[in-house]
Amino acid sequence: MGILEVKDVNKRFGGLQALGNVNLSIAENSVHAIIGPNGAGKSTLLNCLVGKLIPDTGSVLFDGQSVLGRKAHEINQMGISRVFQTPEIFGDLTVFENVMIPCLAKRDGPFRMHAYEHMMDEADIVAQAAAMLDEVNMTDKRDMHAASLSRGDKRRLEMAMCLVQQPRLLLLDEPTAGMARADTNNTIELLRQIKQSRPITMVIIEHDMHVVFSLAERITVLAQGSPLVEDVPENIKGHPKVQEAYLGHAA
Amino acid sequence: MSNFTRRRLLKTSAVAGGALALPTIFTSRAHAFTNEPTGDTVMLGFNVPQSGAYADEGADQLRAYELAVEHLNGTGADNGMLETFRYADGSRTVLTGNGILGKRVEYVTGDTQTNTDASRASARSMIEKDGAVMITGGSSSGVAVAVQALCQEAGVMFMAGLTHANDTTGKDRRANGFRHFFNSYMSGAALAPVLANAYGADRKAYYLTADYNWGYTTEQAISEATEGVGWETVNKVLTPLGQGDFSSYLTPVLGSGADTLVLVHYGGDMVNSLTNAVQFGLREAQANGKDFQIVVPLFSRLMARGAGENIKGIFGSTNWHWSLPDEASQVFTRSFGTKYGFPPSQAAHTVYCQTLLYADAVERAGSFNPCAVVEALEGDDSLPGIDSASNRGFVFDGLGNGPTLYRAADHQCFKDVLVVRGKEEPESEFDLLEVVEVTPVAQVWYEPDHPQFAGGQLGECNPGA
Amino acid sequence: MDAIILQVLNGLDKGSAYALIALGLTLIFGTLGVVNFAHGVLFALGAFCAVTLQAFFSASFSTVDESRTDFLGNPLKVEVPYVEAWFGETVGGVLIDWSVPLAILLAIPVMAVVGIVMERGLIKHFYKRPHADQILVTFGLAIVLQQIIKYFFGANPIPVPAPDAFRGSFDFGVMLGFDPFTIIYPYWRLVYFGFAAVIIGGIFAFLRFTTFGMVVRAGMADRETVGLLGINIDRRFTIMFGLAAVVAGLAGVMYAPIVAPNYDMGMNFLVLSFVVVVVGGMGSLPGAVLAGFLLGIIESFASMGAVIALIPGINQVIIYLVAIIVLLVRPRGLMGRKGVMED
Amino acid sequence: MLGLNRKDLTLFLVVLGLVVFAPFLLNPFPDASGLARFNAGYPDLMQRFVIFGIFAIGFNILFGLTGYLSFGHAAFLGIGSYAGVWMMKLLTVNIVPAIIASTVIAGLASLVIGFICLRRSGIYFSILTLAFAQMSFALAYSVLTPITAGESGLQLSLSDPRILDGAAGNSIPAVNFFGITMRDGFDWAMGGWVFTFNFGYYFCATLMLVAFYLSIRIFRSPFGMMLRAVKSNQQRMNYTGLNPKPYTLAAFVISGMYAGLAGGLMVAVDPLAGADRMFWTASGEVVLMTILGGAGTLIGPVLGAGMIKYFENIFSRLNERDLNAMFDFLPDGLQGAAVAVAQMFVGDGWLLTLGLMFMLVVIFLPGGLVEGGQRIARLFRRKRPARRGPDSDRRSPQPSPHPGE
């Protein structure tokens, strides 16, 4: 039994079958990539995992509990964090505050007032956030406005915000989209480090085969809303079905 | 500890003691009342709408105030109604054009914005900052009631401007406030017989009423008075303030069985509702076999101008009109017209009178102390021809409107009321209303505890100290 | 039955004004992405175009009539309009009489210039600023324009009659077989309704059938892409702003005989027209028109005596009540698109 | 000290100083001079400065931190005022119950209205709040006249029960704070100046300082940070396991209670509650105050409130004579011209001045007066290395002032 179990998920948008009978089991502490051509249903699937969309049928279980019908923040509180295609950070806040917020969320749940305490009095939270910033090498930027960071730094910050919550499952939606090769490699390196330094499950949705094959332990190929193949990377590379899905019948 | 601070005295004292540069702490314990004028000037506060719907009335009021101040100080081209102002015994006013009690009159102006908060803020600044000893003005009843209460608390006099609702001298009456304008009840009492005479005694009336205090009291006053002469009230519909387009309120009128429409609106609302009513053909319509008629209880020339052609032939009431033939009215019209080039409005007239009446009362009392002024304005005369215990107060003549009583019991003014009609053939842009009847004061008399005015108490005059 | 027909007529009329203003607001919002709080004042400016033209035609010189006297007893000065002196009393009289329709000719260039100057001089710099800033700067502009109107025209409403030919009313009820005097409707209001219908139709046709309109519609859908195609969308947007100002101005000109123009009439319409736009759905032209008529009709029904008697004060709050309900039930208004103005 | 860091403490002490010495600072011109018209040191206006300061500080907690633009906050001001006057009518003219009731009842009202309005965001939220406020105004002005006294405003009267006060005699007792009436005070004449000290002002000022202190604490608290996070990125907030709704609602209620407190103080110093203070333009005014001063900054709203109230109360009262006196130094012809031009902007033209000033601020100083102050400060500090933390660089087209300047 994996940490994330997707069973018989179907989702239709009008006449379009976006997801058809998706079954997926993701083992704890593994890195699992989901790839597929454009329109294969990757994003729809991801949105179903985080509560943004509710499948028509089927179930999605995280650690044995259904995530369906829960709000995004409730799903996060279960231990799922998400990295977006374009980094979603709090642009108006400082880098340090950006990391403090998820710390507080982890400790206090979805809402607590703290209306009168001073932010800097939260010694344990401050220490946690500082340690996290250190880990992603951003301590020198802690007082900068997050919006003024470079794209790569924003990605690292977002990663830090996710990791500081010690999630059990990290969902990454094309984490290197739009990045130069050097930045991509840095990101790969960062993800590797993360994986090595703690127990964590990662699900990566990615276009870039370089990233996928550098990181993934298992790969699911999605085509036209259904899983085509699921296997270890070595077997996916030369798989005829995969080539067909990507290149069409001409191959 | 002091109440309102007293700037004028302090100024002179401060200048005198200034050389020592030693701080001197004053309290106004030493003074008998708020803002006692100690220099050679006295400060009055003219609080009128300068923005909002009644800004034109406010501007006309300010003109009249300036004229009144000129006349009081004796610096004008003529002496205006100082020449005609008489007491009950026929003697002339004690005002001589030498200021008030020998002090030159100065004034500050403020904007009420026709808003209770803004008007009170403006009045407080006049009292606290400028040291005004009397506040006057206003062009709506809400403001009058609010500022009157403020003056009572602060211990200065309030001489109401244009305020027509019964409440000003009814449930919200205050000892420090006096009203020269007539009121809703008087409009009803004056209009009803004229209307019965012109349109017959078996009319069915439909009311469109502005949905606020003045509307309520006026509607009640008119409907009770007209029901008294045999009319029937078909329906009363409240309309929001600032409605603009009244079509949806007007269209059901003809189907309701009514043959008369009473528009209890004032200002822009009145202009719009009347214009709309005429557009909807109400004046050409027939109902119950009679010509359909429209009545507007409170008229003002400035509004008549806004309504243009539509006003022709429509009955209403007004406090004063420049075409009145009596000497005082003519003197005032000439004085105002010469200075400004057009005749004064009723709003201008009423505030001019209020200023003179205040000055005269101070002069007679020999003091600016509000309690003394109130006593002087409460007088001890009575109007001839009215048999009532409450017919006591200060009686004067020669300010237009004939013999007039400031009734001691509720500080309401009693005088003849004008019933007017939109003129069919105006000779100029000012000549919009014609006086149809001057309703004698006896006909608009009521007792202070009349149900339409019940629930108020004057309380004691407050000198503020 | 007759009462209902009457209120529908009233509602259509009120709705025409709402729809015209909301249409202009939506044009500006949809194309330029700007929330224009000065739009109500543009409506007022239009109405004052009619006032100005009437004043212009009535501009007079005075001759002294010795036989009559004025209120001070001096010889009466009689005002003779120049147009009557120059063109004879008939032609001059007709000109004055028809000043409202003629004001359309004045309002089109005036409002276009006002709109274009506003866009080039002010609004242009606010495309990339937050909506709150746009609201505030246009709100400031509205206050300024309103004060300028007041400075020249005073605070009291100024009557601007419709031409004599349209001044009366006709008995609509008789045509439908009701008793006389049950459904009476003024000609001018029908003119207004027809006028609004023409303008609304014209705008939709313009957007649908001209290349210019197509580009603008494309721009409303996706501004960046259209910009990338190398089309000078900015210039077109300037023209759209001018057009929206003209629509608001014309709505104002024709409205002048219905409600005497007053310097703060713009603000009175502003809040309402925003409610209309939001109920219709920000950025949706058909939504704006639909909501305009819908709210007009609902408001008319709510002001029926019987309804007020049932629920006191309903006429005061109905518009807002409808707005609240619509927004809670249909989060983006009746016909709004997703993601517009939610940040 | 007081749980503030040095910078905030300095700011707080500066505000404290300004408030305590306001009677001096606002009366810079000798009484006899022509410029005395520009003095603002009289009780009514000083009270207004601090009361509207409270209102704007509260509004800023909602708008400045979360970015939710409410166009209906005046409703809570009005509700607070009505609650206050009713307390004075029913219980006692001591203002303590009135102020407590104002704050609590406005808080309850904002809880209900906020709960509904916060279901939407952006301009839809603004229109919902506007709709609620306009409904409150319309009802208070007309249908609810028995409760609100409609047009003329709810005020004390001789026939009020005043259960705790007992019989009052033939005049309405003065509103007081345990025996000290709000109008109490004294004048201090020194040289050509007269300075007015008024109890009502200092009472309101004390509460404003408390409100200001609380607002600093809220800005610096984790809660304040969460509110800024709501403004910055709701999506990320959700995916961080936080529920933005309770945060925004809490901010809405807090700002509603500030508004209620301001409404209560308004009737405490001047016992009349009119419906006009609920009209949408009054809601617009507090938005203007906050933005003019600098939304999202601590001191901005207070400055903005002072600025607008100053214009409203001083500029609107200048008339032709004052202008003539002001331009007396010019030659006759020029004086006439200067007066004619200036007249457009003062007296009944003060709104024109306000509108123009407002446009200029929004166009050139998007961060409000606070940004203006910072720019001037930067001019003087240019030599020093400018980069110290995030708030030194603020010339981006969409400024988001860091709280606390």
- How many domains are there within chain C? 1
Give the distance from residue B241's alpha carbon to the nearest chain D alpha carbon, in angstroms.
Answer: 9
* Shared domain check, B215 and B159: no
Position C272 pLDDT exceeds 60: yes
- Please answer yes or no on whether B50 and D347 come within 8 Å at the CB atom: yes
List the chains bordering chain A where 3 or more Cβ pairs fall under 8 Å. D
Percent over 90 (pLDDT), chain D: 51
* Shared domain check, B193 and B147: no
Position A251 pLDDT exceeds 50: no
- Please answer yes or no on whether C71 and B322 come within 8 Å at the CB atom: yes
Using alpha carbons, select from C21, C7, C9, C12 the residue that is nearest to residue C275: C21
In a domain, A88, yes or no: no
In a domain, C337, yes or no: no
Position D391 pLDDT exceeds 70: no
Give the distance from residue C71's alpha carbon to the nearest chain D alpha carbon, in angstroms.
Answer: 29
Pairwise CA distance, residues C17 & C23, whole Å:
10
Say what the pLDDT of residue B9 is: 41
**Model confidence pLDDT, tens digit, residues A130-172:** 999 998 889 999 899 999 998 888 988 999 999 999 999 999 9
Position D269 pLDDT exceeds 70: yes
pLDDT class of D404 with cuts at 50, 70, 90: very low
* Shared domain check, A127 and A245: no
Cα C306 to Cα B237, C4, D157: the distances in Å are 9, 12, 36
Between A and D, how many CB-CB pairs are < 8 A?
A: 115
In a domain, C32, yes or no: yes
pLDDT class of A206 with cuts at 50, 70, 90: confident
Pairwise CA distance, residues D351 & D339, whole Å:
18
* Shared domain check, A158 and A103: yes
The region of weakest confidence among A120-129, C116-125, C183-192, D380-389 is: D380-389
Residues of D in contact with B141 (CB under 8 A): 151-152
Query: How are beta strands B204-210 and B286-287 bridged, if at all?
Result: unpaired
Identity of the residue in D344, D348, D362 whose CB atom sits nearest the CB atom of C137: D362
The answer to whether A150 touches A81, Cβ cutoff 8 Å, is no
- How many domains are there within chain D? 1
Single-letter residue type at A99: V
Answer whether B124 touches D (CB < 8 Å).
yes
Q: Tokens for B316?
A: 């209403």
In a domain, C167, yes or no: yes
Answer whether C139 touches D (CB < 8 Å).
yes
Mutation for testing the A interface, residue in D220, D235, D239, D254 having most A CBs under 10 Å: D239
In a domain, D348, yes or no: no
Pairwise CA distance, residues A96 & B178, whole Å:
67
List the chains bordering chain B where 3 or more Cβ pairs fall under 8 Å. C, D
In a domain, D122, yes or no: yes
User: CATH no. for residue D154?
Assistant: 1.10.3470
The region of weakest confidence among B431-435, B454-458, D148-152, D325-329 is: D325-329
Cα D403 to Cα B176, B411, C212, D11, D289: the distances in Å are 50, 56, 46, 12, 17
In a domain, D202, yes or no: yes
Other Cβ atoms closer than 10 A to B115: 26
The answer to whether B339 touches B345, Cβ cutoff 8 Å, is no
Pairwise CA distance, residues B275 & B278, whole Å:
5
In a domain, B1, yes or no: no
Using alpha carbons, select from C1, C15, C12, C26 the residue that is nearest to residue C247: C26
Instruction: Note the ipTM here.
Output: 0.89
Say what the pLDDT of residue B3 is: 40
Cα C37 to Cα C134, C144, C200, C243, C279: the distances in Å are 8, 12, 21, 16, 17
Domain boundary among A102, A136, A166: A166
Pairwise CA distance, residues D209 & D214, whole Å:
8
* Shared domain check, B86 and B127: yes
* Shared domain check, B380 and B437: no
User: Going by C-beta distance under 8 Å and a sequence separation of 6 or more, which residues neighbour residue B269?
Assistant: B210, B239, B241, B242, B243
* Shared domain check, A105 and A157: yes
Say what the pLDDT of residue A68 is: 87
In a domain, D353, yes or no: no
Residues of D in contact with B139 (CB under 8 A): none
Pairwise CA distance, residues C194 & C13, whole Å:
9
Pairwise CA distance, residues B14 & B23, whole Å:
9
In a domain, A162, yes or no: yes
Position A249 pLDDT exceeds 80: no
In a domain, C164, yes or no: yes
Give the distance from residue A188's alpha carbon to the nearest chain D alpha carbon, in angstroms.
Answer: 23
* Shared domain check, B22 and B145: yes
Answer whether A117 touches D (CB < 8 Å).
yes
The answer to whether B114 touches B50, Cβ cutoff 8 Å, is no
Position D248 pLDDT exceeds 90: yes
In a domain, B55, yes or no: yes
Give the distance from residue D69's alpha carbon to the nearest chain C alpha carbon, in angstroms.
Answer: 8
Average pLDDT (C318-340) is 82
- Please answer yes or no on whether A76 and D393 come within 8 Å at the CB atom: no
Say what the pLDDT of residue C62 is: 78
Using alpha carbons, select from A190, A248, A188 the residue that is nearest to residue A213: A188
- How many domains are there within chain B? 2
Answer whether B247 touches C (CB < 8 Å).
yes
User: CATH no. for residue A245?
Assistant: 3.40.50.300
Q: Is D55 exposed, middle or buried (0-12, 13-18, 19+ CB in 10 A)?
A: buried
In a domain, B461, yes or no: no
Say what the pLDDT of residue C226 is: 66
Average pLDDT (C4-33) is 86
Pairwise CA distance, residues B208 & B211, whole Å:
9
Residues of B in contact with D196 (CB under 8 A): 5, 128
Say what the pLDDT of residue B383 is: 92
Cα D405 to Cα A11, C72, C288, D206, D295: the distances in Å are 51, 65, 42, 22, 11
Using alpha carbons, select from B255, B287, B294 the residue that is nearest to residue B273: B294
* Shared domain check, A183 and A68: yes
In a domain, A217, yes or no: yes
Domain boundary among A139, A166, A193: A166
User: How distant is the alpha carbon of residue D327 from its chain centre?
Assistant: 33
Q: What is the mean pLDDT of chain D?
A: 87
- Please answer yes or no on whether A101 and D242 come within 8 Å at the CB atom: yes
The domain in which residue B267 lies consists of 185-318+420-428+432-444
Say what the pLDDT of residue C250 is: 93
**Model confidence pLDDT, tens digit, residues D173-229:** 889 999 888 888 888 888 888 888 999 999 999 999 999 999 999 999 999 999 999
Between C and D, how many CB-CB pairs are < 8 A?
A: 123
* Shared domain check, A173 and A74: yes
- Please answer yes or no on whether D222 and A114 come within 8 Å at the CB atom: yes
User: Going by C-beta distance under 8 Å and a sequence separation of 6 or more, which residues neighbour residue D13?
Assistant: none
Chain C contacts in chain B segment 207-236 (CB below 8 A): 211, 235
Q: Is C205 exposed, middle or buried (0-12, 13-18, 19+ CB in 10 A)?
A: exposed
* Shared domain check, B172 and B78: yes
Pairwise CA distance, residues B41 & B63, whole Å:
21
- Tracing tokens 């000012």 back to the chain, one arrives at B430
**Model confidence pLDDT, tens digit, residues C201-249:** 999 998 888 888 887 777 777 666 666 666 677 788 888 889 999 999 9
Answer whether C125 touches D (CB < 8 Å).
yes
- Tracing tokens 């028509």 back to the chain, one arrives at A56
D-chain residue closest to B7, CA distance: D194
* Shared domain check, B176 and B32: yes
pLDDT tens for chain B, 465 residues long, are: 344 444 434 444 444 333 333 334 444 434 678 888 888 999 999 999 987 778 888 989 999 999 999 999 999 899 999 999 999 999 999 999 999 999 999 999 888 888 898 899 999 999 998 899 999 998 889 999 999 999 999 999 999 999 999 999 999 999 999 999 999 999 999 999 999 999 999 999 999 999 888 999 999 999 999 999 999 999 998 888 877 788 888 888 888 889 999 999 988 888 889 988 988 888 888 888 889 999 999 988 888 888 888 889 999 999 999 989 999 999 999 999 999 989 999 999 999 999 999 999 999 999 999 999 999 999 999 998 899 999 999 999 999 889 999 999 999 999 999 999 999 888 777 888 999 999 999 999 999 999 999 888 898 999 887
Q: Is D383 exposed, middle or buried (0-12, 13-18, 19+ CB in 10 A)?
A: exposed
- How many domains are there within chain A? 2
pLDDT class of D168 with cuts at 50, 70, 90: low
The domain in which residue A70 lies consists of 1-79+168-251
**Model confidence pLDDT, tens digit, residues B256-290:** 889 999 999 988 888 889 988 988 888 888 888 88
List the chains bordering chain D where 3 or more Cβ pairs fall under 8 Å. A, B, C
User: CATH no. for residue B174?
Assistant: 3.40.50.2300
Say what the pLDDT of residue D358 is: 85
Answer whether B55 touches D (CB < 8 Å).
yes
Answer whether C224 touches D (CB < 8 Å).
no
Using alpha carbons, select from D389, D357, D391 the residue that is nearest to residue D377: D391
In a domain, D369, yes or no: no
Q: Tokens for A72?
A: 């995004």
Single-letter residue type at D247: Y
Which DSSP helix (H) or strand (E) runs through B383?
A: none
Say what the pLDDT of residue A250 is: 42
Say what the pLDDT of residue B271 is: 86
In a domain, A230, yes or no: yes
pLDDT class of C277 with cuts at 50, 70, 90: confident
Pairwise CA distance, residues D356 & D292, whole Å:
12
pTM across the whole model: 0.90
* Shared domain check, A248 and A172: yes
Tell me the residue ranges of DSSP E strands in A132-207. 169-173, 201-205
Q: Tokens for D66?
A: 């979360």
Identity of the residue in C129, C278, C333 whose CB atom sits nearest the CB atom of D398: C129
Residues of C in contact with B277 (CB under 8 A): none
Domain boundary among A134, A166, A198: A166
D-chain residue closest to A78, CA distance: D241
* Shared domain check, B329 and B313: no
The domain in which residue C66 lies consists of 2-329
Pairwise CA distance, residues C11 & D294, whole Å:
43
Q: Tokens for B96?
A: 């001589």
The answer to whether A219 touches A233, Cβ cutoff 8 Å, is yes
Say what the pLDDT of residue C178 is: 74
